[in-house]
Amino acid sequence: MSAMAFLRRLSIRSQLFILAACTIIVILVVILHTYAMMSGMITRSHEEYVKQTVSEIKKNVASNHDVIYRIMQDISYNQDVQDYLVETDKLVRYDKFTKLNKYMSGQKELKEGIEDIIISGNNGTWIDLYGGNRYVIPLRKQLANSKVNGYYAGMLQFDPKLYGPDKKLVFATTITYSQQGELFNRNIGTAFFIVDAAAVVSEQDYTSQETGTQIYLLDRSNQVIASNSSVQTGSDFKGIQYGSTNASNRIIQWKNRSYVVETEALPDIDGTILSMVPENELLRDLLDIRRQELIILGIALLVLAVPFMFIINNILRPLKRLIFFITTIRRGDLLKFKKRIALHGYMEISIVATELNSMLDEIDRLTLSLLDTNTRLYGIELEKKKSELAFLRSQINPHFLYNTLEAITGIAVVEGQDRIKTMTRALSSIFRYSIKGSSEVPLSEEIRMIEAYVRIQQIRFADRFSVHYELSDEALAYRVPKMILQPLVENAVYHGFEPTLRQGELWIRGRVGGEGALVVRIEDNGMGIAHEVLEELQRTIAAPVSGLQEPGEQKSIGLVNVHNRIQLMFGAGSGLRIESKADRGTTIEMTIHGRSEQDA
């Protein structure tokens, strides 16, 4: 009891220090004793052997890979091969077929283990030695648009009558046309090598001389290329999750046995060399040592049990009281916030109790203050809602404006004021278009709105400019954001035609590009834009999108907002491009990557 009383007067830090010191001493004794006995034997019996074996395997794989790679390069850059792949005359191609067949047979003999050579052209032309072309068609499609040299494509199961029952390795390289002309440096086909595992690594390279050690060569898909066990070539090796190839050796459980596993990267074929040995075989001499360590550890735990229990009890008892008190407070009864706690024990728990009581006092004070603040905020919010309601009541109903415009149109018809009738009817059409319907419409509807807008401006400017439309049917069906063209046309009218008295022409052209993008060009022969202003505008448009601009932020708000709106809706590839010369006119090109109405 005196020991317990002494420990209660200590801080948590002091008590944990005593526990940590005792634990560290025991662990150090066990670790140092075990390490001294194990390090030499593990190093001599396994690690050096595996490193040497893996090193030899890597050298041989690299050497064999280089030979295969050189043969593939010779074939891919052979003039007859390239001419055969681009030849369109069937008779000429047939004459070259016999010559190529003999050439490929000679290349196959340069490396033992090459089962077949396949040359597959992008235009459907192909040639193989033993009928493997139909198996590599999916791989050819994967490599058709890339430049790959000496690439290990994976393992495939072929007809046993062709190359035998085991899976074979497939190496591939794209064939790039090397002669000057239209096809220079373009991908014209793919060469495939069907290779037996023996052509990459020979059996003597991985045959283990150490009892029980198993070596596996795995490709990127964890398929077995070769091994010194009974596992068949091409088998999936998913029983072991060996993780990173840069990790050191580790012990894992596999098929109810413990194995020591080491891995090494095999970059030439993007694979892994995996070695594993049963732990009981590798650590056979360490069983007696492990038995001694267990005895020492057991004695140490018995020695530590008594102080450990004293310390745990001294820490947990006041903590349990504190947890119970906090749980009671969390039940939400305001009266329980009036309770306070007194804990007697070590220094830290007493400080916690004092601080908790102070916090509860502060909560009482803040609760009263919060209630008062909420009452005032509620009154302010009521006044705000009243103001908003009054503002809404003062707003004009859009339908009232539309009906008023229609009434003005009727009066203009009666009075014979054709221009007023045309302007009000066009304005009514624009207003109705802008407030009704979805936010995206076919370009044809947007053009109808632009025609109405242009009628208003032509009346205003006394026909000082004319408008020409060149839009394809595919472009007219393309869906665009509503009111997206009006700022562009308005820019041409007010900045291009208004400052000058000469006759103006406005062209609106639209087409759908090869990548399915809508391209609309607004061209005018007006005043154009000064060079300095144009550069500033182009820099503003090229800047990262940060939302729509507010009036007063910068010049040309309409164009910048249209550009930002398009990019926010359709991505960075869409937007505006502006070209202009002073007194020569301005061209604004709008590009939208989206879907036409027919595809929607």
332 by DSSP, 3-state: which? coil
Say how far apart CA 48 and CA 54 lie, in whole Å: 10
Are 186 and 82 in contact by the 8 Å Cβ rule? The answer is no
∠16-18-23 over CA atoms, to 5°? 90
Mean pLDDT of 371-380: 72
3-state secondary structure 422-452: HHHHHHHHHHHHHHCCCCEEEHHHHHHHHHH
Which segment of 208-212, 276-280, 471-475, 537-541 scores lowest on mean pLDDT? 208-212
Architecture of the structural domain at 77-199: 2-Layer Sandwich (3.30)
- In this prediction, residue 587 carries a pLDDT of 95
Are 215 and 227 in contact by the 8 Å Cβ rule? The answer is yes
Say how far apart CA 569 and CA 594 lie, in whole Å: 9
Q: Do β-strands 465-471 and 504-512 pair in parallel, antiparallel, or remain unpaired?
A: parallel
Say how far apart CA 568 and CA 305 lie, in whole Å: 66
Q: What is the pLDDT of residues 385-418, one digit of tens each?
A: 554 444 334 334 454 455 566 667 667 666 666 7
3-state secondary structure 444-506: HHHHHHHHHHHHHHHHHCCCCEEEEEEECHHHHCEEEECCCCHHHHHHHHHHHHCCCCCCEEE
- In this prediction, residue 246 carries a pLDDT of 40
- pTM of the predicted protein model: 0.44
Res 262 pLDDT > 70: yes
Place of tokens 């009581």: 357
Res 554 pLDDT > 80: no
Res 99 pLDDT > 80: yes
Q: What share of the chain has pLDDT > 70, as a percent?
A: 75
Architecture of the structural domain at 207-282: 2-Layer Sandwich (3.30)
Banded model confidence at residue 224, pLDDT cuts 50, 70, 90: confident
Place of tokens 């205003």: 460
Res 524 pLDDT > 80: yes
Can you name the residues that pair with 155 across neighbouring β-strands? 169
∠255-258-264 over CA atoms, to 5°? 95
Mean pLDDT of 313-342: 69
| Domains 77-199 and 207-282 agree in fold | yes
Q: Which of the given ranges, 29-43, 143-157, 305-319, 578-592, has the highest pLDDT on average?
A: 578-592
Mean of per-residue pLDDT scores for the chain? 77
Which segment of 51-65, 259-273, 540-554 scores lowest on mean pLDDT? 540-554
- In this prediction, residue 282 carries a pLDDT of 64
Are 249 and 213 in contact by the 8 Å Cβ rule? The answer is no
Say how far apart CA 91 and CA 184 lie, in whole Å: 24
Res 378 pLDDT > 80: no
∠398-400-405 over CA atoms, to 5°? 100
Res 235 pLDDT > 90: no
Res 209 pLDDT > 70: no
Res 243 pLDDT > 50: no
Q: What is the pLDDT of residues 425-472, one digit of tens each?
A: 777 777 777 766 677 899 999 999 999 889 888 888 888 899 999 999
Res 586 pLDDT > 90: yes
Question: Phi-psi region for residue 419, left (φ > 0), alpha (ψ -120 to 50) or beta?
Answer: alpha
Q: Which residue has the higher pLDDT, 454 or 209?
A: 454
- In this prediction, residue 63 carries a pLDDT of 87
CA distances for 304 relative to 33, 105, 285, 297, angstroms:
19, 77, 30, 10
Q: What share of the chain has pLDDT > 90, as a percent?
A: 11
- In this prediction, residue 562 carries a pLDDT of 86
Q: What is the pLDDT of residues 51-65, one digit of tens each?
A: 788 888 888 888 888
Res 475 pLDDT > 90: yes
Which segment of 135-139, 416-420, 536-540 scores lowest on mean pLDDT? 416-420
Taking only Cα atoms into account, the Rg of the chain, rounded to an integer number of angstroms, comes to: 42
Mean pLDDT of 295-323: 76
**What are the residue boundaries of the structural domains of the chain, listed by start?**
77-199, 207-282, 325-372, 463-593
Q: Which residue has the higher pLDDT, 302 or 284?
A: 302
* Helix then strand then coil, % of the chain, to nearest 5: 55, 20, 25
The domain 463-593 having CATH identifier 3.30.565.10: the answer here is yes
- In this prediction, residue 202 carries a pLDDT of 74
Q: Which residue has the higher pLDDT, 282 or 169?
A: 169
Res 212 pLDDT > 80: no
Contacts of 288-294 with CB under 8 Å at 24 or more apart are 289/34, 289/37, 289/38, 290/34, 293/30, 293/33, 293/34
Can you name the residues that pair with 169 across neighbouring β-strands? 155, 195
Q: Give the contacts of 58 (CB within 8 A, at least 6 positions apart).
A: 264, 266, 268, 273
Say how far apart CA 420 and CA 407 lie, in whole Å: 12
